[in-house]
Structures are given as C-alpha cells and as structure tokens.
C-alpha cells in the first residue's frame, strides 16, 4: 500500500501543485493544500476500487480541498447597529408600522357583526371555529363576516390613503388622502 502511495506522490506531486497553485493566490498556501491533498489520498487510498480512475480520483480530492479552503476563508460580516433601529428601518417597514397603528381604529369603525369577527380573527389570532362558538353562529357565518369585514376595511383604507406597492405586491409606501381620513395623518 505504501508503495502505491509513493508512486502516486511521484507521479502527481508536481502536476497537483501546479493545479492548486493556479487556483490559490499564494504559493505557500498551495503547498499546504497539496500536503492536505496527499494526506487525504493516503488515508483514503483503500477506497479506490478501480486504478484506471486514479487520476480523476486524485483531482477530485484536490478540487474538494480547494473548495474547503475557500469555504473556510469566508468571513462573517457584522451587521450594522442601525439595522434594528428606526433609522435603519426601510421605507416599506416604516409604512407598514405606521399603517398598523391605523388598523385598530379602522376595524373599530366597522359595523358590529363584522367588527368583532375581524378583531378576533385578525388582531387576536383566534381560529374561525372558536369565533363561531364565541359569536354563537356557524363556521360559514364567521367566514362570511371576516371576508365581508376585510372588504369593508379595504374600502376604508383605499378611501383614506393612496398606496404604493412593489412588483411583488408588498406595500412600500402610503400617503393619506387629504380630507378623507382622520385616522391616518401624515406627520
């Protein structure tokens, strides 16, 4: 077995060094990686079943060592402090936060059967089956109330504000319509 390894060393040493050196910027690093390649060849030489595939097996190991080298060099980048602060907040996040403050008053302005259903489902997060028990109506009745309440809420929002969406349909900005809404006011 060691004779076979010596043959591999003699036959592939210079070619592998050149192969690695062309892919790594530093000659001493290439030599270190070459040593790692030969360590892997030595420790796994019993896994090679077909000697006719020796060259592809050796270069496969070399490529994996080079890949591992570059993966280990990836540095983590620390996130800026402003990321979690309001100053680092995107316009879309800011618009969503501001609109969230408008939602409760708009929901409270809905007619009674819809107000409670929307509030319990959208704000409190209760399942519709539980809302049906609370309100003493059927599940389909709750679904209808939530759907109709959402539609009324949307109409209120559209009457109140002009919205801007990105290409995926995410709200990125809004602007209150003058005189149409006393809930959402521009600061």
Residue-wise pLDDT tens digits, 146-156: 999 999 988 88
pLDDT tens, residue by residue, 121-135: 988 888 999 999 988
CATH code where residue 123 lies: 1.10.10.10
- Is 101 found in the same domain as 66? no
- Is 156 found in the same domain as 106? yes
Question: Contact 10/17 with Cβ under 8 angstroms?
Answer: no
**Residue whose structure tokens are 């990105």:** 166
Tell me: pLDDT of 26 over 80. yes
Domain count, the chain: 2
**pTM of the shown model:** 0.47
Q: When comparing pLDDT for 179 and 163, which is higher? A: 163
**Residue whose structure tokens are 């070619």:** 15
CATH code where residue 51 lies: 1.10.1740.10
Q: List the one residue out of 11, 113, 107, 16 whose CA is nearest residue 59.
A: 16
Domain stop point among 73, 100, 118: 73
Q: Which two tokens stand for residue 169?
A: 């349909």
Nearest-10 crossing angle of helices 27-44, 2-21: 150
- Is 104 found in the same domain as 170? yes
- Is 161 found in the same domain as 111? yes
- Is 102 found in the same domain as 61? no
Instruction: Read off the pLDDT of each residue in 159-177 and give the average, rounded to a whole number.
Output: 79
Reported in sequence order, the residue ranges of 101-186 that DSSP labels E, i.e. its strands, are: 161-165, 171-176
- Range of the structural domain that residue 156 is part of: 90-176
Average pLDDT, the chain: 81
- Is 118 found in the same domain as 56? no
- Is 109 found in the same domain as 51? no
Tell me: pLDDT of 114 over 60. yes
């Amino acid at each position: 077995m060691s004779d076979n390894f010596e043959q591999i060393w003699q036959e592939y040493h210079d070619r592998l060094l050149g192969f690695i050196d062309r892919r790594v910027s530093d000659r001493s690093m290439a030599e270190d990686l070459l040593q790692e390649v030969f360590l892997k060849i030595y420790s796994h030489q019993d896994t090679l079943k077909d000697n006719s595939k020796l060259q592809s097996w050796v270069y496969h190991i070399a490529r994996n060592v080079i890949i591992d080298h570059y993966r280990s060099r990836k540095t983590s980048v620390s996130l800026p402090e402003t990321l979690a602060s309001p100053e680092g907040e995107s316009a879309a996040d800011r618009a969503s936060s501001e609109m969230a403050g408008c939602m409760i008053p708009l929901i409270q302005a809905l007619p009674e059967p819809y107000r409670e259903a929307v509030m319990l489902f959208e704000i409190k997060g209760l399942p519709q089956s539980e809302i049906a028990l609370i309100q003493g109506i059927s599940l389909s009745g709750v679904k209808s109330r939530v759907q109709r309440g959402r539609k009324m809420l949307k109409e209120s929002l559209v009457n109140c504000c002009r919205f801007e969406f990105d290409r995926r349909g995410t709200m990125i900005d809004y602007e209150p319509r003058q005189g149409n809404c006393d809930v959402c006011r521009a600061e």
